[in-house]
Amino acid sequence: MDVASGTTTDLGVLDYQVRAAGYSASQDLVYGIATHDKLGWLLRRPQLVTVDRRGTLRTLGPVRYGIGGIAEPTAGAATSTRLYVRDVHRLYTLDIDPRSRSYQSVLKVVWLSPASLATDVDDFAADPSTGLLYGISTFGHVAKVVSLDPMSGAVRVIATVPGAPWQDSYSSVVVGPSELYAVHTGHGRRSQLFRIGFDGSSKELSSWKPLARSDAAGCLKQVVQSPPPPPPPTPTPTPTQKPSTPPPSPRPTATPTGTAAPPPPPPPPDEPGTPRPTQSRTTAPSSRTPTPVLPQGDTSVPVRPPQSVPPTVPPTVPPTPPPSAAPSTPVVVRAAPRVAAVPAEGDDRTVQVLRRWSLAMLLVILISGAAMAAQRRMRRMRQMRR
């Protein structure tokens, strides 16, 4: 049952009637006392049982203490290693630690006092922080929050609850940090879930159909469930990007070469005795080195002088002649003719000797082959004559 909302979940039907149930959080099990099976009363042979979250019941064996053992278990609560059971005005403490040698045994029995308050407490819950048991007693004409000491058996009133009904009983109780959650049941009455504070305040949280009896073991330990893995991400189509048009690069300054324009005709030869007029230049002398003029008679390729563009890194050049020596007319570049290398006389003789030896060896091979062929013919003719 969810105490906050009052919703319930049915886990199935047990083979025994289980009373005085308590929840061990460390073992995640409910311990209780089974007093009836499908055939009826167990004839003073109550069984210690466990119930898991799925509603599976397991019998651990009979509970015996002294003569007769537990007769009528009513209220119950549990810590991690102890189960507390009220049988009328007696309070039993049982060992439910599986690692202990006294597992399933009764460790202590105390008498509850005052018995009038204790016998009207039909269920209680254990608070590990204080070691006390807390429940709702309906003794008198007002409901009361009471505490029970399992070591001494003392029963004390904590607060009165005038806003909660005092008839019948509170047969299911669990404890919270500062309040109790209790289910009020009775014959012919609808069942009600109350939140009752230790200061006497109360509030009805939920109600459902009438129940003759009920029992609450405790608040279950929350099982943290890992969230389901997230679905795989849907692949997002990559948008097709249009190729970006590169910015127009600055047009380089064209440097005229010999193939860009037809070369100008060579200048006419100077007549002897006629001096060439020189032009006076008023600009700063150029740092460009004049190209030397090759000898006459070679194939010439006229080249126009490039525009005066300042170089980024000035190359290492030989000393510049004075500005007056710079030609004012286009410079004619002439390529020197290449002369084929003439082989030496000694090399020519060696080649002739090798050729003669090669011919001589070829003749020897041919003559030898002819002689051998003639001998074969002679042998065949002799054999034929015989």
Q: For residue 43, is it within any domain? A: yes
Question: What tokens does 210 get?
Answer: 């009438």
Q: How far is the C-alpha of 172 from the C-alpha of 160, rounded, in Å?
A: 18
Q: State the DSSP string of 312-323.
A: SSPPP-PPPPPG
pLDDT tops 50 at residue 300? no
CATH code at 180? 2.130.10.10
Can you tell me whether residue 82 is helix, strand or coil?
strand
Q: With bands split at pLDDT 50, 70 and 90, how would you rate the model's confidence at 230?
A: confident
Give pLDDT, residue 113: 94
pLDDT tops 70 at residue 99? yes
Q: For residue 168, is it within any domain? A: yes
Q: Which residue would you say has higher pLDDT here, 317 or 382?
A: 382
Q: How far is the C-alpha of 299 from the C-alpha of 377, rounded, in Å?
A: 70
Domain coverage including residue 57: 17-208
């599986």: which residue's tokens?
A: 98
Give pLDDT, residue 238: 65
Q: How far is the C-alpha of 52 from the C-alpha of 217, rounded, in Å?
A: 12
Q: How far is the C-alpha of 110 from the C-alpha of 104, rounded, in Å?
A: 18
Q: For residue 255, is it within any domain? A: no
CA distances from 182 to 118, 158, 191 (A): 17, 16, 10
Give pLDDT, residue 233: 73
For the chain, give the mean pLDDT.
75
pLDDT 10s digits, 116-139: 999 999 999 999 888 899 999 999
- 74-88, 151-165, 324-338: segment of lowest average pLDDT: 324-338
Q: For residue 376, is it within any domain? A: no
Can you tell me whether residue 55 is helix, strand or coil?
coil
Q: For residue 142, is it within any domain? A: yes
pLDDT 10s digits, 25-58: 999 999 999 887 766 666 567 889 999 988 899 9
pLDDT 10s digits, 336-380: 555 445 455 555 678 787 888 888 888 888 888 888 888 888 888
Task: Kindly state the percentage of the chain with pLDDT values over 70.
Answer: 63
Task: Give the number of residues written for the chain.
Answer: 386
Q: How far is the C-alpha of 31 from the C-alpha of 24, rounded, in Å?
A: 7
Give how many domains the chain has, as a whole number: 1
Q: For residue 181, is it within any domain? A: yes
Q: For residue 286, is it within any domain? A: no
Partner residues linked to 48 by β-bridges: 33, 61
Q: For residue 384, is it within any domain? A: no
- Which helix (H) or strand (E) covers residue 133, if one does? strand 132-137
CA distances from 241 to 10, 245, 246 (A): 61, 12, 14
